Amino acid sequence: MQKLGRKSPSGISNCEIQELGPRIGRMSRLRQLILSGMKKLVSLPQLPYSLLELDAFCCESLERLDCSFPNPDIRRLDFTYCIKLNKEARDLIIQTPTTEFAVLPGREVPVCFPYRSSGSSITVKLNQMPLGSSTKFKVCIVFAGEDEKDTSSRLLRGGYVYYSITSKQNALGEFYKDLGPVLGKHLYIFEVEAVEVTSTKLAFEFGYGPRKGMFSLESKYDPREIKECGVLQLLEVP
């Protein structure tokens, strides 16, 4: 097994090991952990609270996450091509709050998102008018396309999901989220916030562009088609 350093970031790639030792949970300064192409890795132990980014790209045998991610500042959970994740692991990834995004294999928006729609737009009906200054939502997007056909080109560049939120025909703004390269048959999950909501009905619209400043929902500049989207209301911010 390759030795992990105590300072961030740390990484292991293309190893034959099936699990990481418990010592990794005691690395209190570990901020970023990169596990790339570890095709025999089956499970992950508890990771340190300090962890902010986990990249488990192409760990094809990974099934279990014997851990949690309690740090409220965690930025990114990347489980691209981790095709054997069990239900408990998938639920943990989907439910963990992140400041940037989480990604894992999936063909459809999970049922835990009560608002689901084919295509790139969706309407959310709140049970009541928000009492706070803003309301947070968790969003799930599935991109169209067969990733086997375009993985190499798509991984060469990053991209942005742009989204607009409209309340009672009043635009609450257009925003963007940097997802990096995107693939089909994967779930991309991130959080958004709507401020100054004036209606119980909110309209969300999404689009994808190659980089910031060169795409808008109106221009449709080089978008990648969004197959499905889903929204889950989280909480109100006082």
Lookup: tokens for 200: 């119980």
pLDDT digit string (tens) for 42-53? 999 999 999 999
Asked whether the beta carbons of 96 and 74 are under 8 A apart, the reply is yes
Distance of CA 189 to CAs 16, 146, 199, 203, 210, Å?
30, 19, 25, 18, 18
Same domain for 201 and 115? Answer: yes
pLDDT digit string (tens) for 202-227? 999 998 876 655 445 554 433 457 89
pLDDT at 180: 82
Lowest mean pLDDT among 3-7, 85-89, 181-185, 214-218: 3-7
Which of 55, 76, 104 marks a domain boundary?
A: 104
pLDDT at 208: 84
Same domain for 127 and 210? Answer: yes
Which of 73, 104, 135 marks a domain boundary?
A: 104
Region 167-184: mean pLDDT is: 83
More confident residue, 6 or 190: 190
Which of 57, 84, 104 marks a domain boundary?
A: 104
pLDDT at 168: 77
pLDDT at 127: 76
Same domain for 65 and 168? Answer: no
Under the banding of pLDDT at 50, 70 and 90, the label for residue 15 is low
Under the banding of pLDDT at 50, 70 and 90, the label for residue 10 is low
Same domain for 149 and 233? Answer: yes
Region 16-22: mean pLDDT is: 80
Same domain for 58 and 176? Answer: no
For the chain, how many structural domains are there in total?
2
Same domain for 43 and 113? Answer: no
pLDDT digit string (tens) for 94-104? 999 999 999 99
Region 142-167: mean pLDDT is: 66
Same domain for 8 and 22? Answer: yes
Where in the sequence is the domain holding 111, given as residue range(s)?
106-238
**Alpha carbons 156 and 10: distance in angstroms, whole number:** 23
pLDDT of residue 75 exceeding 50: yes
Same domain for 97 and 190? Answer: no
Same domain for 120 and 184? Answer: yes
Asked whether the beta carbons of 134 and 194 are under 8 A apart, the reply is yes
Q: How much is the pTM?
A: 0.86
Same domain for 141 and 51? Answer: no
Q: CATH number for the domain including 137?
A: 2.60.40
More confident residue, 132 or 100: 100
The candidate with the shortest Cα–Cα distance to 97, out of 60, 67, 59, 69, is 69
pLDDT at 82: 96
Same domain for 90 and 132? Answer: no
Same domain for 70 and 5? Answer: yes
